[in-house]
């Protein structure tokens, strides 16, 4: 009996170890390689490089500017997201489609958004003289537009955590505005804050948009250093303040997640009848919807216009067909593989896993600049013994997983927080076996979060450049690489055509996810209310 | 005081018709209990009266004025109604006292606090005022939900199995508090329960929903 | 073994089988002769040249392209990182500084170049690590609707001229790309003190610093800028697309510094997996025929060899362009000083 228990414990522990080793190997290996390279360099007499970890006065200014810009972008996007969600609640209860559509635009690199806005701003400047085509405000606006899909998507997820019965209970006593401020928003707060942290991190790491509008940010300083010194270790040490900031942000976000509401939520609007907002709030919603419409339509119409006046979509697509297939293959593989990673990490003993106080460490790899991730992977995998994987299509997949798998885990964790803990306990009581519980209970309950995470990984992988460039196998290239090449060349019509194809295919993929979710929601629609 | 008139009320969720041509009249101050098998539409009926759902057909009038018709409902907070839901539905970010005071914001603060405190004492919840919902038991949460519904002295009380999970002693105490409140303030009451004895004790009339034809 | 334990083992085994299948699928090798080339030349230009080589020789070319958006931290870093286990055979660079850096890092291997005798002095590394051929040049691109004939700038130093409001003239960020190479060249020619003063004044004046040469091109072409510094391939692209622009080679007077000419460089990677085909590709890229072809498709505007009469340049540059009288090594040695100064001035 004792031996039986011992062997069971050993199996569980081995499995636990295997899970964490897999996660570590996939997500943390670039960071580990960089840390190893850093310690080697320092031990070889480069200790003077340590001062790079502490910003100079000039660098501190850049850092403050980066942080300020990113906070502004995160707050603005979240506010707009909340307004848009409140507006959508008022109009249409069948808004499952709307939920995932914004993600399709995530596949467009921020740079493409920036170019579309740059053109518009130039014309506005010429006609009105009121706008400046450069500067922090313009840069912040365009970054907010580029990440607005994330803001809307996360606001949707966050506000959905509010249990309808809690909203109902509040509506008995107060009007819908009071219910929103005193009940819905506070209850959604933890997830909204976690979402805001995510947008903060994404914009902190981006240099392409600020650079286009003449704004120097800390991320650009890192690349300037890398470009000049060719030393990944120096760039990594210089990135330390960003890593520290990201760690603080992730720790805070993770603490918010621990405080999420525990009542079961089926998803969808928590308002049983359409809410009635005050006129001022409704006006603000119209404003937010207008911004969202412009943010969606501007790059799409610019793309469509350029494609229409150019060579034609098919002739643009034909030479890029191979890159198209390769890009979608990598994005699909990264999205699919992020699922078991998220699954394994959240699969304790079948119990609902509480976020650990040190859980924020899981997400730290998100903060590493993309080319450094690539260099870390090359350092690790470019060895004769591991050559079977190196220089294959698996390297860009690993790069995408290292960068974005933690985001899938974050979204799945958020989904898990929304599920009534008693549901896990009940399943453990009544399950026939582990597989029975996994397929019939745990997977369906976590499916929305897993799908959301996989979709996010898919969209971000499609637009990934910095790490892919370093690890793409010879003879293979991604659509993003081709888009940036043509951007540089000035073939705006070709770029537009390729971007349009990316958006349409991502929309199609997103629609499939929406159908699946809507089907799941319809299946459970009635039972609670009878 | 609240008179309820329900005429040919119908409500479906998807393809499932929960209520079909249901009619009922409840006089001012009358106390009715609603009985019926699971899934027959008792909770849906309560939610429709509260204004939390919109009817597909038919009408609900309160004190002779239309309150719910297809396409429009009078907002719940304007109906002077108190509701206890099937689950306690306590807001997790507010203390027990905060949950009760939420519906008393129109009163003077000290009056509101006193009223809430009296109810907590009556329901044997002394000492729990500053605790959060996750720090109290299921039975205590049920009693807090009842206190929250009674505190504003609403003209219409809608109680959906409010005493589930209470042991006999606490159930007796809660019923006594409820009866005392009904005696003093004479609200109209619609009480959903599976317990026939409870239904006979608390109500003057019993309405049965069988899920097949109008009650 | 309990049922639960066996299920757990079965699950683990199943995942391992899947992983192995995937790995094996990746293992499929090819019997075809091949060569791996890393190139920073724009894919639009490099791809047809490499496809032509494939067609002529039957050797499969596996290319890795670079992008300007990564601020030159792409391929060079990759080659250094792969040094212990090289994957590439050939490095075809659109400029020369990265090639000199790679030589310094021991990434390159010396070889003989069949076309060496056809190339100008200074265009072949004395140790045989690299060879250079036809290239681009820095150039001033002027919007003809905003600048009247006779009022055009003629020198890089016109960035400081009061004739042109600062917000109407621009250049790419001097920390990256060919603009940084030009800065290093100016440091090499004029000395650190004078060069520092020039760039300090440019920064203080508020000249528009843009994200890259292509952005300068686009903003001059659209009229957002009156003129800017860019490369000839970008300038010629705008001219070809019918933009109202004109190209001017700066500092051409006898007493001026001349213009920076940026040749292509080709080198072999030490320890590359396909040495034989690598040599064939190197010699092909250095051939006069390829140079002529690159002139025709607008990658090269300043050829190193006379062009056959049948070759129609995509962008005729007119009479002889006077280049800077400074060697590649001198520019390479100045880059660090230039970078340190420019980072302080422009990264604010």
pLDDT tens digits, one per residue of C137-158: 999 999 999 999 999 999 999 9
Query: Do the Cβ atoms of A525 and B13 come within 8 Å?
Result: yes
Do A306 and C241 contact (CB within 8 A), yes or no?
no
> C311: exposed, middle or buried (C-beta count within 10 Å: 0-12, 13-18, 19+)?
middle
Nearest CA of chain A to the CA of B40: how many Å? 7
Could you tell me the residue ranges of all domains in chain A? 10-525
Query: Do the Cβ atoms of B83 and A183 come within 8 Å?
Result: no
Give the CATH superfamily of A10-525: MetI-like (1.10.3720.10)
Would you state the pLDDT for residue C28?
A: 45
Q: Stretch A35-48: mean pLDDT, rounded?
A: 85
ipTM, two decimals: 0.81
Give the percent of chain A with pLDDT over 90: 18
Pick the range with the lowest mean pLDDT from A146-160, A303-317, A450-464. Answer: A303-317
Kindly list the residues from chain B whose CB atom is less than 8 angstroms away from the CB atom of residue A165: 85, 87, 89
Q: Is A15 on the interface with C (CB under 8 A)?
A: yes
Task: Please give the model's pTM, rounded to 2 decimal places.
Answer: 0.81
Would you state the pLDDT for residue A261?
A: 43
- DSSP three-state, residue A423: helix
Q: Stretch A206-235: mean pLDDT, rounded?
A: 83
B43 Cβ contact list (under 8 Å, min separation 6): A529, A530, B86, B160, B192
Nearest to A272 among B39, B52, B91 (CB): B52
Query: What DSSP string describes C161-213?
Result: -TTS-GGGEEEE-TTSHHHHHHHHHHHHHH-HHHHHHHHHHHHHHTPEEES-H
B138 Cβ contact list (under 8 Å, min separation 6): B88, B165
Would you state the pLDDT for residue C95?
A: 92
Would you state the pLDDT for residue A264?
A: 47
CA distances, A528 to each of A165, A523, B39, B53, B86 (Å): 11, 12, 9, 14, 10
Token representation of residue C254 = 């006898």
**Do C and A count as touching (3 or more CB pairs closer than 8 A)?**
yes
The A residues from 410 to 469 touching C (CB cutoff 8 Å) are 433-435, 465-466, 469
Would you state the pLDDT for residue A232?
A: 82
**Do C and B count as touching (3 or more CB pairs closer than 8 A)?**
no
Could you tell me the residue ranges of all domains in chain C? 34-135+261-319, 136-260+332-346
Do A475 and C63 contact (CB within 8 A), yes or no?
yes
Let me know the angle formed at the C-alpha of C184 by C183 and C190, rounded to the nearest 5 degrees: 85
d(CA C112, CA A143): 50
Q: Stretch B140-164: mean pLDDT, rounded?
A: 94
pLDDT tens digits, one per residue of C230-286: 999 999 989 988 899 999 999 999 999 999 999 999 999 999 999 999 999 999 999
Do A465 and A481 contact (CB within 8 A), yes or no?
yes
pLDDT digit of tens for each residue in chain C (348 aa)?
Answer: 344 544 554 555 456 555 545 544 444 445 689 999 999 998 889 999 999 999 999 999 999 988 766 655 578 888 998 998 999 999 999 999 999 999 999 999 999 999 999 999 899 999 999 999 998 999 999 999 999 999 999 999 999 999 999 989 999 999 888 999 999 999 999 999 999 999 999 999 999 998 889 889 988 998 889 999 999 999 998 998 889 999 999 999 999 999 999 999 999 999 999 999 999 999 999 999 999 999 999 899 999 988 888 888 888 776 678 899 999 999 999 999 999 999 889 987
Query: Do the Cβ atoms of A186 and B77 come within 8 Å?
Result: no
pLDDT tens digits, one per residue of A335-364: 999 888 877 776 643 444 455 555 666 777
Kindly list the residues from chain C whose CB atom is less than 8 angstroms away from the CB atom of residue A475: 36, 60-63
- CATH 2.60.40.10 for domain C136-260+332-346: no
Nearest CA of chain C to the CA of A473: how many Å? 7
pLDDT tens digits, one per residue of C101-117: 999 999 999 999 999 99
Kindly list the residues from chain A whose CB atom is less than 8 angstroms away from the CB atom of residue B53: 272-273, 529
Nearest CA of chain C to the CA of A65: how many Å? 10
As a three-state string, the secondary structure of chain B is: CCCEEEEEEEEEECCEEEEEEEEEEECCCCEEEEECCCCCCHHHHHHHHHCCCCCCEEEEEECCEEEEECCEECCHHHCCEEEECCCCCCCCCCCHHHHHHHHHCCCCHHHHHHHHHHHHHHCCCCCCCCCCHHHCCHHHHHHHHHHHHHCCCCCEEEEECCCCCCCHHHHHHHHHHHHHHHHHHCCEEEEECCCHHHHHHHCCEEEECCCCCCC
How many CB pairs below 8 A link A and B? 83
Q: Which of A243, A336, A287 is nearest to A30 (CA)?
A: A243
pLDDT tens digits, one per residue of B169-209: 999 999 999 999 999 999 999 999 988 999 999 999 999 98
Chains touching B (3+ CB pairs < 8 Å): A
Kindly list the residues from chain A whose CB atom is less than 8 angstroms away from the CB atom of residue B71: none
- CATH 3.40.50.620 for domain C34-135+261-319: no
d(CA A75, CA B144): 36
d(CA A450, CA A443): 9
Nearest CA of chain A to the CA of C96: how many Å? 14
Residues of A near B (Cβ–Cβ under 8 Å) read 163, 165-166, 168-176, 182-183, 186-187, 261-263, 272-273, 276, 522, 525-526, 529-530
Let me know the angle formed at the C-alpha of A409 by B89 and A19, rounded to the nearest 5 degrees: 120
């Amino acid at each position: 009996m004792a031996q039986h228990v011992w062997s069971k414990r050993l199996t569980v522990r081995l499995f636990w170890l295997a899970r964490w080793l897999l996660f570590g190997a996939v997500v943390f290996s670039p960071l580990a390689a960089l840390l190893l390279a850093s310690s080697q360099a320092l031990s070889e007499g480069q200790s003077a490089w340590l001062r790079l970890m502490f910003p100079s006065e000039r660098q501190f200014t850049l850092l403050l500017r980066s942080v300020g810009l990113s906070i502004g972008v995160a707050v603005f996007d979240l506010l707009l997201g909340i307004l848009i969600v409140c507006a959508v609640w008022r109009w249409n209860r069948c808004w499952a489609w709307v939920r995932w559509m914004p993600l399709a635009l995530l596949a467009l690199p921020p740079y493409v958004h920036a170019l579309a806005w740059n053109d518009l701003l130039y014309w506005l400047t010429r006609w009105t003289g009121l706008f400046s085509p450069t500067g922090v405000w313009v840069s912040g606006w365009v970054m907010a537009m580029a990440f607005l899909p994330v803001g809307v998507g996360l606001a949707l997820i966050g506000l959905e955590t509010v249990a309808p019965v809690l909203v109902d209970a509040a509506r008995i006593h107060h009007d819908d505005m009071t219910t929103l401020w005193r009940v819905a928003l506070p209850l959604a707060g933890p997830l909204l804050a976690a979402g805001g942290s995510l947008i903060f991190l994404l914009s902190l790491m981006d240099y392409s948009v600020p650079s286009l509008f003449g704004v120097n940010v800390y991320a650009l300083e890192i690349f300037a250093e890398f470009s000049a010194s060719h030393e990944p270790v120096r760039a990594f040490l210089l990135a330390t303040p960003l890593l520290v900031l990201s760690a603080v942000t992730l720790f805070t976000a993770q603490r918010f997640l621990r405080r999420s509401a525990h009542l079961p939520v089926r998803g969808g609007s928590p308002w049983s009848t359409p809410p009635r907002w005050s006129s001022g709030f409704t006006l603000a919603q119209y404003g937010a919807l207008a911004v969202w419409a412009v943010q969606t339509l501007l790059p799409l119409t610019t793309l469509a216009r350029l494609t229409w006046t150019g060579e034609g979509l098919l002739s643009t697509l034909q030479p890029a067909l191979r890159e198209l297939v390769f890009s979608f293959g990598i994005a699909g593989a990264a999205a699919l593989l992020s699922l078991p990673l998220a699954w394994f990490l959240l699969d304790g003993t079948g119990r609902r896993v509480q976020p650990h106080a040190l859980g924020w460490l899981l997400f730290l790899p998100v903060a590493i600049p993309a080319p450094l991730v690539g260099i870390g992977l090359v350092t690790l995998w470019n060895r004769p013994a591991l050559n079977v994987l190196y220089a294959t299509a698996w390297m860009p997949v690993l790069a995408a997983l290292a960068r974005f798998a933690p985001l899938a885990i974050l979204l799945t964790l958020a989904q898990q927080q929304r599920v009534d803990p008693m549901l896990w306990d009940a399943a453990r009581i009544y399950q026939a076996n582990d597989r029975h519980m996994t397929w019939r209970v745990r997977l369906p309950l976590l499916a929305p979060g897993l799908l959301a995470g996989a979709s996010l990984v898919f969209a971000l992988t499609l637009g990934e450049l910095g790490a892919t460039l370093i690890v793409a196998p010879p003879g293979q290239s991604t659509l993003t690489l081709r888009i940036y090449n043509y951007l540089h060349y000035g073939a705006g019509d070709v770029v537009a055509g390729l971007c349009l194809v990316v958006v349409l295919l991502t929309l199609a993929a997103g629609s499939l996810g929406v159908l699946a979710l809507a089907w799941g929601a319809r299946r459970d629609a009635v039972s609670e209310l009878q | 005081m609240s008179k309820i008139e329900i005429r040919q009320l119908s409500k479906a969720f998807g393809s499932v018709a929960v209520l079909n041509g249901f009619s009922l009249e409840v006089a001012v101050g009358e106390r009715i209990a609603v009985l019926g098998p699971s899934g027959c539409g008792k909770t849906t009926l309560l939610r429709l009266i509260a204004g939390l759902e919109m009817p597909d057909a038919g009408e609900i009038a309160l004190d002779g004025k239309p309150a719910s018709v297809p396409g429009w409902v009078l907002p719940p907070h304007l109906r002077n109604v108190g509701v206890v839901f099937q689950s306690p539905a306590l807001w997790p970010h507010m203390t027990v006292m905060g949950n009760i005071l939420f519906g008393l914001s129109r009163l003077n603060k000290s009056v509101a606090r006193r009223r809430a405190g009296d109810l907590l004492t009556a329901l044997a919840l002394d000492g729990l005022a500053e605790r959060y919902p996750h720090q109290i038991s299921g039975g205590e949460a049920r009693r807090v939900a009842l206190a929250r519904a009674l505190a504003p002295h609403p003209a219409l009380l809608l109680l959906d199995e409010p005493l589930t999970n209470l042991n006999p002693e606490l159930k007796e105490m809660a019923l006594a508090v409820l009866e005392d409140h009904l005696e003093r303030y004479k609200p109209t009451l619609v009480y959903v329960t599976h317990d026939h004895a409870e239904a006979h004790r608390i109500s003057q009339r019993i309405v049965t929903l069988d899920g097949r034809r109008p009650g | 073994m309990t049922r639960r334990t066996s299920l757990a083992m079965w699950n683990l085994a199943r995942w391992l089988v899947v992983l192995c299948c995937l790995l094996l699928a990746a293992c499929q090798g090819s019997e075809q002769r091949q060569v791996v080339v890393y190139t920073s030349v724009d894919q639009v230009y490099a791809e047809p040249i490499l496809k032509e080589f494939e067609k002529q020789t039957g050797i499969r070319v596996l290319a890795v392209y670079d992008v300007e958006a990564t601020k030159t931290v792409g391929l060079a870093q990759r080659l250094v990182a792969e040094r212990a286990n090289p994957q590439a055979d050939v490095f075809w660079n659109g400029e020369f500084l990265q090639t000199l850096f790679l030589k310094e890092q021991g990434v390159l291997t010396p070889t003989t170049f069949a076309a060496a005798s056809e190339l100008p002095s200074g265009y072949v590394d004395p140790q045989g690590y690299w060879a250079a051929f036809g290239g681009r040049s820095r150039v001033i691109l002027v919007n003809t609707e905003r600048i009247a004939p006779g009022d055009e700038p003629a020198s890089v130093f016109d960035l400081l001229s009061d004739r042109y409001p600062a917000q109407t003239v621009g250049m790419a960020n001097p920390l990256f790309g060919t603009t940084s190479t030009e800065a290093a060249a100016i440091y090499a020619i004029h000395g650190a003190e004078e060069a520092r003063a020039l760039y300090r004044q440019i920064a203080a004046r508020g000249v528009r610093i843009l994200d890259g040469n292509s952005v300068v091109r686009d903003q001059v072409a659209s009229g957002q800028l009156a003129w800017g510094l860019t490369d000839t391939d970008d300038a010629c692209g705008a001219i070809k697309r019918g933009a109202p622009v004109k190209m001017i080679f700066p500092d051409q007077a006898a007493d001026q510094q001349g213009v920076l000419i940026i040749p292509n460089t080709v080198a072999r990677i030490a320890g590359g997996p396909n040495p034989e085909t690598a040599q064939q590709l190197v010699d092909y890229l250095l051939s006069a025929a390829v140079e002529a072809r690159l002139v025709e498709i607008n990658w090269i505007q300043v050829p190193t060899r006379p062009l056959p009469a049948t070759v129609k340049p995509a962008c005729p540059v007119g009479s002889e362009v006077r280049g800077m009288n400074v060697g590649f090594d001198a520019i390479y040695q100045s880059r660090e000083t230039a970078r340190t100064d420019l980072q302080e001035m422009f990264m604010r």
